[in-house]
Every structure is written in structure tokens, then in C-alpha cells.
Amino acid sequence: MSSSGDKDFISQAQAGDIAGMQGLFMRYSSSIQLYLVRLLGEEKATPLTVHTFRSAWEALPGLEPGADFLTWLYRIATNIAYDAQEPSARGLRRHSWPLYQLLALPTSTPPLIKAVLRLPFYERACLVLHVVARLSLAEVAACLGLPERRVRTHLESAWSWLRSGEYASATEEELREAILALPQPGEQVNSPFLAREEEEGEQSDQQGLTLLRLSSSASYTRPLRQRIFLRLGLMLTSLLLVVSLLTSGMALLLVNKNQLVSSGQLKAPPVFTPAYYDARVDRPACFFADESNDSHAQPSICNSHLYSDINQQQSTRPGFIFRLQQAYADANAIGLAYTLLQSAYNNLNDVPDMFGTLSIQELHTSITIGHKYAAYSTFFGQYNTNNDISFFYLPSSPTPGEIHQLHVTLDIHSMWLVDQTTGGTTTVYKGSQPLRFQFTLPFHTGQIIPTPRSSHNAPYSLSQVTITPSMTHVTLNCLQSLACKNIANLLLTAGNSAYLPSDVRWHLPTIDLYYRATSFQKHSTWHLSATSPTVSIPSIYF
């Protein structure tokens, strides 16, 4: 379905050239917007269209040669639309679209649009992909991860439902023409890939401006059905884990009740003691190297030796050894680098994951950790090893100079490997007692930037900026709730590099934005600005 001219744009974008992605956006944004309007309504379609293309930009290096780009793009949009729905709108029950959302639609909304929106998600997606996006049944099946016969069944059910109401006398062809004749979206989507302009209106120099890929959106490229099964599998695994922990705890209390002392307290349960090893053998010098920003010519967490060697290991089960290699902490996040060694298991496609807690004595806090809880993670495989470097947000930032050292306890309750291709899991550790690691870290507080005065017509005010060697945390106060919808696309420019938020957390009226810019770039001029010149949000310099 893709145009023959897509190949050059795709090659440009895969090489990191934003102009190539802008070309793909100009070519297909209206199609994706129309698809999402018919799938979810016009209110959600615009931001989700931007989200679709940003996710496509991040996942584009993984697009297989010869794959149809537009079908692949529709798959990403479908997954994002599914995640954006409320749970009640995803079910297989008829009339499952929330009633309050239907009542919130404008009175001028055609009845046919309301009828389509009340279809269950699979039937609605099959109908819109086939009729509006003009995909064949085989392409719809590939997009949703369903057998072609199931797609045909969903389409028949959708047509039957639409003809059961006021369109009872309409034929399938008449309904198809009526859907295609519905009004087009009224709002145009602004591209997040357009060149920036300075406030004075002069064109900025983009020779050194690089929009970095901030995270992996590969999960959105999976068929919808596969993503749902993986999600259910993880939920079931977590539930079984909780039940197992509760059952093990109760059994431990019953079996060891003779350990009660005269004070009525249980004796302290045994804790696995980690062994130390020689860190100079068989591992890189520093795990916290950032391939996009790190070089021997500029300072970084590695080059400035801000990390600490932990060098503790424990056997998890026969054939597996868990090594806690290094750690790092600052006012924004704490980072852990660990390796899972496998004597007879060698699948570099596996990603290690865990469920545990990280207790920090000085901050009086306990953080739940694991891949799905991480701010961001980096994985790489070597022979018989899987490595993970993960950063976790700290819930509160202490005052600079208040804390210089952290005493940390890491308790790992369970650990497993996830095959990125099949979604299958391999249990590495699951015991009644956690694997415990205790260590001390130097604490790098970073710098809190004085809050500049915001423009009188800005929809937000800058509350605080905390810049550390690992990331930048920007806290905003939303002053105009309607205009704050564009805050998630605020561009942070640090010298010759520009960053979109790697994470946005909404606690209205407070909004927290996290960027991969670091304190090593603080000697340059920084400012926040809109990603498009058509959005009238004043820039803030600091």
C-alpha cells in the first residue's frame, strides 16, 4: 500500500535524518489522523497521531527491509489507540463504549459515527482498517495478529450491528459509502519534526541540532493480539508471584513458630550473603556509557568516574549467577548495572527482568524496581551473559549539599528472562527469602536552576529544574489547562542538541518532564520551546 517514493524517506529516517521522517509525516499524517478519528473520535485523534509518528521514529530502525511502511504504521496506531481507551471500551460486550463519552460528543455528530464508536474494539478496528484505510483482509489480519477468517467474522458482526438500528434497510455497500462520506477531521496535526524558529522569526541553524531517539517503541510494532497476550501473561505472572510470596510467608511462619523468643519477636530470617569477585576479569570498565553522548573527549558518568564498583554476586539457581556490577546515584535517579551469567544457556535475544525493592536509608524511601518500573534501561548480550543498565526515578530530591552518601539495600524477590521474540519466560530465581545486596554510594546532588520569570501569556510557569549527570528533571505548573496539552511536546535545547521528553508524568496542576540532557552540557545555553512554530507557547531560557 505504501507509495514507491517511501524508500528514500525511510532510508533517511533510519539513518537519523529528521527530514526523512518529516516527509513520511506529510505523506501519511492525514490518513493516520482519519483512521484514529473513526476509531476513537476527534478529541483523541490529534495527540495520538503525533504519538504514532514519534513511536514510528523511535522504532523505525527495526523495520524489516521490504516491509510495507503504511501497514506497519497502522499497526502502531492501532496499538496506541487500544492503550488509550478506557478498559470498558476494549471489551467484547456490545454497547461497550462508555455512555458518558457518547453524551460528551457534539450534538452535530452524525448518528453513523456514534454507531461505529459503540462497536467492540476488534470489530471497530477491522471495520475502519478495511473500509477507511482500505486494507485488504490479509493486511488487516497481519495488523491485528488475527487469522483472516476471524477478521471476516468481526466484519460480518460489525455490518450486522450497524444494520440492526436506524440503518436496517441499508445494504453493506450503502453503509460503506456512507462511512467514506462522513466529514473529514477539522483540526490539522502539527508535525513534531518541523524545523524550529527563533522567537524573532529568524530561521535557526540546524547543522548541529540532532533530535535524539529517546526510547524504544518496538512493542507498538507487534500485532495487537500478541501484545494483549503478553500483557495478560505478565499480569498473571505477577499475580502468581504475589500469591506465591504470600503462601510462602504464611508457611514460613507456621513451620518456624518455634523460633519465637521470649519477647514475642521472631528471630531474624536468614539472608543470602553475596560473594565478592575480581571485577577486572571479563567485563567492561564502565557500564554507564551512553553510545550517543559518551566519548573519551567529553565528560560523562564514566569518564568522570562518578559510578561505584559494587562487585557482588550470588548464585540464583543451577547454571545462573547474578552479578551486581556497578551503581550510581544523584538527585534525579539511581542507576544499577548488573549481569546475569549463564553456564549452559545462551540466548542473546533474552532480556533479564526482576521484581525487587531498593531501600535507601538516608532518603527514608523504598523503591519498587524491575524493567517495567525503570525510567529507562539499556540491554546488551554477550556470550553466556545478559546485561542490564537501568535508572529508577527517586521519589524526592534532597537539598543540594544535604546528603553526600547513601546506604542502599537491594532485595531481589524474583528474577526471570523474557524472550523478545516469543514472549516466553524462564525463571531464574524465585525463593522465600530475597537475594540481598548492601552497599554504599556517593551521592551527586547535581544543580537546581533558579526559576526564571515566565512570560505573562505562557500557559505554564517553571517551578524547578534539577540537572544531574544522569538526566534533567523539569517541573512545570499548568496555568491554562486547555493550552497545557502541548506541554508533552516541549523541546529542551541544550547547546547544539535538542531533546523531546523521555517521560512525562501528570499530577495536575504539576507536570514533571524528564529529558536525557545532563549536567555535562550545562556550560551552553538551555531553553524550553514548542516543537512547532505554529504553536504559540513562549520559550523559557535558563
pLDDT digits (tens, 9 = 90+) for 339-388: 888 766 566 677 788 888 888 887 788 888 887 778 778 777 766 777 88
Between 105 and 195, residue with greater pLDDT: 105
Share of the chain above pLDDT 90, in %: 7
Is the pLDDT reported for residue 206 higher than 50? Answer: no
Share of the chain above pLDDT 70, in %: 72
- pLDDT attached to residue 223: 67
- pLDDT attached to residue 269: 47
Question: How confident is the model over 231-257, as a mean pLDDT?
Answer: 80
- pLDDT attached to residue 145: 81
d(CA 353, CA 388): 9
Closest by Cα among 255, 310, 249 to 438: 310
pLDDT digits (tens, 9 = 90+) for 480-497: 766 666 666 778 888 778
- pLDDT attached to residue 439: 92
CB 155 within 8 A of CB 163: no
Is the pLDDT reported for residue 512 higher than 80? Answer: yes
Is the pLDDT reported for residue 258 higher than 80? Answer: no
Is the pLDDT reported for residue 215 higher than 50? Answer: no
Is the pLDDT reported for residue 338 higher than 70? Answer: yes
Helices (H), 91-146: 99-104, 111-117, 121-131, 137-144
Is the pLDDT reported for residue 53 higher than 80? Answer: yes
Is the pLDDT reported for residue 430 higher than 70? Answer: yes
> Domains in the chain and their CATH numbers?
6-195+216-227 (1.10.1740.10), 270-442 (2.60.40.1630), 446-541 (2.60.40)
Is the pLDDT reported for residue 161 higher than 70? Answer: yes
Between 18 and 445, residue with greater pLDDT: 18
pLDDT digits (tens, 9 = 90+) for 286-333: 888 765 555 555 678 887 788 888 889 888 877 788 888 899 988 888
- pLDDT attached to residue 227: 64
- pLDDT attached to residue 500: 84
CB 194 within 8 A of CB 206: no
How high does pLDDT run on average in the chain?
A: 76
- pLDDT attached to residue 396: 66
d(CA 30, CA 105): 22
Is the pLDDT reported for residue 456 higher than 70? Answer: no
d(CA 332, CA 392): 8
CB 49 within 8 A of CB 33: yes
Q: What is the residue-wise DSSP string for 39-77?
A: HH-HHHHHHHHHHHHHHHHHHGGGPPTT--HHHHHHHHH
Between 48 and 272, residue with greater pLDDT: 48
Is the pLDDT reported for residue 535 higher than 60? Answer: no
Is the pLDDT reported for residue 525 higher than 70? Answer: yes
Mean pLDDT check: name the lowest of 96-110, 132-146, 175-189, 505-519: 96-110
- Per-residue DSSP letter, 372: G
pLDDT digits (tens, 9 = 90+) for 84-122: 876 555 544 444 555 445 555 666 677 888 888 888 888
